[in-house]
Amino acid sequence: MQAFRLYEVSQIKSSDDTSSITEASEFGGLKPLSTPLNSDLMKMERPQFIQDPMDFVKYLLRLRVLFDRYVIKIQGDENGEADLKWRILRPYLYEDKKRSTYTLRFRNTFSDKESNDDLDDDEFNQNRVIKQQSMLQVSFRQPKYKEWLYQLLYKLMQYSENGIEIMANDIVRIIDDYIFNYAKDVLERDDIFVAGLNTPHFLLNYIDYLYWLAWKKNYPIGEAKLIGEFSFKYLNTVEHHYPRESKSLPEIDNVDSIGNLCMMSRRKNSSLNNREPLEKANRRDNKDLQPKRRIMYETTRYESSMGRNWNSECINAHADNVRRLLSEASNILAK
C-alpha cells in the first residue's frame, strides 16, 4: 500500500501547488500519506491525488519492475541459520539455438553471472548491494519499520524516469547514505556503547557490514583481517560473549560493553547462555559467522593458545576497535 504514498508525493512534486509540498527528510522528501489506508476508514471513491487512473496503473507497473529488479529477495527459511540465501536478479531471454527456442531465465542484476563471488567489480557491487539490503532487512523485520525500502523505491522511481537501467554505484550510494545517517542518530545515545541487551540490532549489524567492507577493501582496520565471507541472517537476540552470570567466572564491570556483544539466534543464545567464552568459540557449528562474533571467537581462541582467557582487557580492546571502525565509517563507505 506504500505505492499510494510514493505516488501521492510524485503528484504533489509535479504540481504547481508548491505550498502543499512538505519535506519530511532530506533523503527522500516522503511525508505521511494524507489518505488513510485502513480498510474501515478509507473512502471508496478514488483518492484525490489520483487524477488519471491509467497514469497510476503505469506508475504501479514501473514500480513493480524496479522492485523485482533492484530489491533483495530471500531463498530459504528465514527462521533458520543455514541455507539462507539473498538474491537480486533480473530476467533475460535465453536462446537455445539447438532447439530454436527461447526461455525466460534470471541472472544477477549487476552482472551476467549466477553467483555472488567477488571475481570483478561487477560481482563486488552485486555482493555489496546484497549486503546493504540484507543488513537492513534483518535489522527492521516489521513492515512499519521499513522506511529504508520506501526511500529506496522513491529514489529508484526518480532515477528511472528515462529508463529502468540503474547503475549499481547509484544504489550503493543511496543505501549507504541512508545507513550512515541512520547510524549517526543511533550513535548519539549517551549509553550506546554500554547498553547491553538494549543495544539496537541495527548497530551490531551495521558494525558487521563495516567490518566486511573494510575486509573486502583491505582498509587498515586491524581486526578486519580476521573476517571471512558471510551472510546476514535473522538473528534476534543480543549475546554476551563473557556471560553476565557464571558459577565459574568472576564478575566484571564491563560485561555490557559493545566489546562483549554480538548477534545470535534465540535458540543458540538459550543453549550457550552461561557457557564460558572458550566453550562458545570452540563449537563445531560455528560456520558463516557474522564478522563481530567471528572476531571475538578468533580472539578468544588466540588468547587461550597463549594461556589467557577472554576477559575485561579483551573486551576493552575490542570496544576500542569498534569505536575506531565507527569513527572511520564515512571513509570505509566511500573508499
pLDDT tens digits, 96-125 = 888 889 898 888 998 766 554 545 677 889
Half-sphere exposure at residue 312, Cβ-oriented, CA atoms within 13 angstroms: 6
pLDDT of residue 27: 42
Phi, psi of 261 (to 5 degrees): -120, 150
User: Whole-angstrom distance between the N-terminal and C-terminal Cα of the chain?
Assistant: 37
pLDDT tens digits, 308-319 = 999 999 999 999
SS (H, E, C) the chain: CHHHHHHHHHHHHHCCCHHHCCCCCCCCCCCCCCCCCCCCCCCCCCCCCCCCHHHHHHHHHHHHHHHHHHCCEEECCCCCCCCCEEECEEEEEEEECCCCEEEEEEEECCCCCCCCCCCCHHHHHHHHHHHHHHHHHHHCCCHHHCHHHHHHHHHHHHHHHHCCCCCHHHHHHHHHHHHHHHHHHHCCCCCHHHCHHHCCHHHHHHHHHHHHHHHHHCCCCHHHHHCCCCCCCCCCEEEECCCCCCCCCCCCCCCCCHHHEEEECHHHHHHHCCCCHHHHHCCCCCCCCCHHHHHHHHHHHHHHHCCCCCCHHHHHHHHHHHHHHHHCHHHHHHC
Cell of 75: 531463498
Beta-strand relationship, 89-96 and 101-108: antiparallel
Rounded mean pLDDT for each run of 10 residues along the chain, 335 residues in total: 71 54 44 48 57 83 92 78 81 86 89 57 88 95 84 92 90 95 95 96 97 93 87 92 90 96 82 83 84 96 94 97 96 87
Cell of 171: 544504489
Cell of 301: 581462541
CB count, 10 Å around CB of 54?
A: 7
pLDDT of residue 287: 79
CA-derived radius of gyration, the chain: 23
pLDDT of residue 40: 53
Closest Cα to residue 300, out of 291, 290, 311?
Answer: 311
pLDDT of residue 25: 43
| CA 113 from centroid of its chain's CA atoms | 23
Domain edges within the chain: 2-186, 192-334
Compute the distance between CA of residue 244 and CA of residue 265 in angstroms, rounded to an integer: 18
Closest Cα to residue 127, out of 139, 143, 116, 138?
Answer: 116
pLDDT of residue 48: 64
Cell of 220: 587498515
pLDDT of residue 76: 72
Closest Cα to residue 63, out of 130, 148, 2, 133?
Answer: 2
